[in-house]
């Protein structure tokens, strides 16, 4: 009996599932606060496990109809940021509402059905856009196609992968990069399937608006996008102001960087500007953890959108444009990663000086 007791106390390895459900922003918020308490020793192992399960099982802070409406507002905001025409913005908002309904319904069915959600959403959105463009020439393709699918674009996943790879975390970085690329392939296959059904060439996915919205519209779109993210992804209401602030700093940095340095390096400036703000917000009593502010900003900097267009073009036989788009997307992700890493260094120095 004594020998068995000693064996039971020895360190051992066990395998456990990490879960198939993606955490909402409110759950990420609570998780990081729990980790901080565990690191300080104020939470024991058993209590921590119980609270971790409570975080996973917690119901969303907003009702399903509110989350659907939040997704439509999110798509509306992204359509303004992408500067489609007003007809494109209207189409993107309606399709965003439909995708929001689909996403809320499928998420309630469980992670098994969620695997098919990106393909189903991209096929439905692309088919609707391709058929509508043939009937209404005023509608372009790119904005109504990308805006309703923005929540499925793995911009945050791919950027995090590049950050991990650049800091020597090879296994986690390679895993995230593979998962992000597979997500893009699934979305691209849905778009290509819709193009085949509608009888249009894959080159149509980059048809831009002839008369884009005014230059002030994207600045309104940033606020709408932030509000939509807060409601649809279930962020704490006290965090909404901080999330929108980080989004505005990221977008302003991207605009200034685009004027001074060009398209790819604009993402570097946006990431560099937003990172210290997110770190400072995380130190405020009402501020969310930095990752909660980072994730919407990664969607805003749209490396995932560039990658989706590139893979769609490449699989659709336009290899030259597809390869160019993928190269631009890769350079953009590296620029964002470098901006975040440099911003983390600067932000850490600022927070240390405050203490």
Inter-residue contact 220 to 244 (CB < 8 Å): no
Inter-residue contact 147 to 96 (CB < 8 Å): yes
Q: What integer pLDDT is reported at residue 1 of this predicted model?
A: 43
Tens of pLDDT along the chain (355 residues)? 444 444 444 555 555 555 556 778 888 888 888 888 888 778 777 888 888 888 888 888 888 899 999 999 999 998 888 888 888 899 999 999 999 998 888 877 766 666 778 888 888 988 888 888 878 777 777 788 888 888 887 777 777 777 787 777 888 888 888 887 788 788 878 888 888 887 776 555 555 566 778 888 889 999 999 999 999 988 888 888 899 999 999 888 888 887 887 666 777 888 888 888 888 888 887 888 888 887 788 777 654 455 455 545 544 555 555 555 566 666 666 777 777 777 777 766 655 555 5
Q: What integer pLDDT is reported at residue 73 of this predicted model?
A: 94
In our burial notation (b when 16+ CB lie closer than 10 A, e otherwise), range 326-349 reads: bebbbbbbbbbbbbbbebbeebee
Inter-residue contact 70 to 62 (CB < 8 Å): yes
Q: What integer pLDDT is reported at residue 67 of this predicted model?
A: 92
Q: What integer pLDDT is reported at residue 304 of this predicted model?
A: 46
- Could you tell me the pTM of the whole model? 0.81
Contacts 24+ apart (CB under 8 A), 132-136: 132/91, 133/200, 133/204, 133/207, 134/198, 134/200, 136/87
In our burial notation (b when 16+ CB lie closer than 10 A, e otherwise), range 149-177 reads: bbbbbbbbbbbbbbbbbeeeeeeebeebb
Contacts of 132 (CB under 8 A, 6+ apart): 91, 139, 144
Ordered by start, the domain boundaries in the chain are 64-354
Inter-residue contact 158 to 332 (CB < 8 Å): no
From CA 149, how far away is CA 129, in angstroms rounded?
12
Q: What integer pLDDT is reported at residue 264 of this predicted model?
A: 66
Inter-residue contact 272 to 253 (CB < 8 Å): yes
Q: What integer pLDDT is reported at residue 8 of this predicted model?
A: 42
| Cα of 351 vs its chain's centroid, Å | 27
């Amino acid at each position: 009996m004594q020998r068995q007791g000693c064996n039971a106390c020895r360190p051992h390895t066990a395998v456990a599932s990490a879960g198939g459900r993606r955490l909402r922003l409110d759950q990420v918020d609570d998780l990081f606060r729990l980790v901080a308490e565990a690191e300080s020793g104020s939470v024991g192992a058993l209590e921590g496990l119980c609270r971790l399960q409570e975080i996973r099982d917690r119901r969303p802070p907003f009702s399903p109809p509110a989350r659907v409406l939040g997704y439509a507002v999110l798509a509306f905001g992204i359509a303004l940021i992408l500067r489609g025409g007003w007809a494109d913005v209207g189409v993107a908002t309606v399709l965003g509402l439909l995708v929001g309904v689909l996403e809320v319904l499928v998420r309630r069915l469980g992670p098994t059905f969620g695997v098919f959600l990106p393909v189903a959403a991209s096929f439905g959105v692309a088919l609707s856009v391709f058929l509508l463009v043939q009937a209404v020439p005023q509608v372009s393709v790119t904005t109504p196609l990308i805006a309703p699918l923005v929540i499925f674009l793995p911009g945050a996943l791919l950027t995090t992968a590049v950050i991990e790879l650049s800091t020597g975390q090879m296994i986690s970085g390679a895993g995230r990069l593979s998962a992000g690329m597979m997500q893009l392939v699934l979305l691209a296959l849905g778009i290509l399937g819709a193009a085949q059904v509608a009888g249009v060439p894959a080159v149509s996915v980059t048809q831009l608006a002839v008369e884009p919205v005014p230059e002030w519209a994207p600045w309104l779109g940033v606020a709408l996008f932030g509000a939509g993210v807060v409601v649809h992804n279930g962020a704490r209401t006290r965090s909404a102001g901080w999330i929108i602030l980080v989004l505005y700093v990221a977008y302003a940095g991207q605009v200034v960087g685009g004027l001074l340095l060009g398209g790819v390096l604009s993402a570097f400036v946006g990431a560099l500007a937003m990172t210290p703000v997110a770190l400072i917000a995380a130190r405020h009593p009402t501020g969310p953890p930095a990752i909660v502010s980072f994730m919407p900003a990664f969607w805003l900097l749209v490396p995932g959108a560039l990658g989706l267009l590139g893979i769609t073009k490449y699989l659709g036989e336009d290899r030259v444009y597809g390869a160019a788009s993928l190269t631009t997307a890769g350079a953009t992700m590296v620029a964002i990663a470098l901006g975040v890493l440099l911003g983390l260094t600067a932000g850490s120095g600022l927070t240390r000086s405050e203490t």
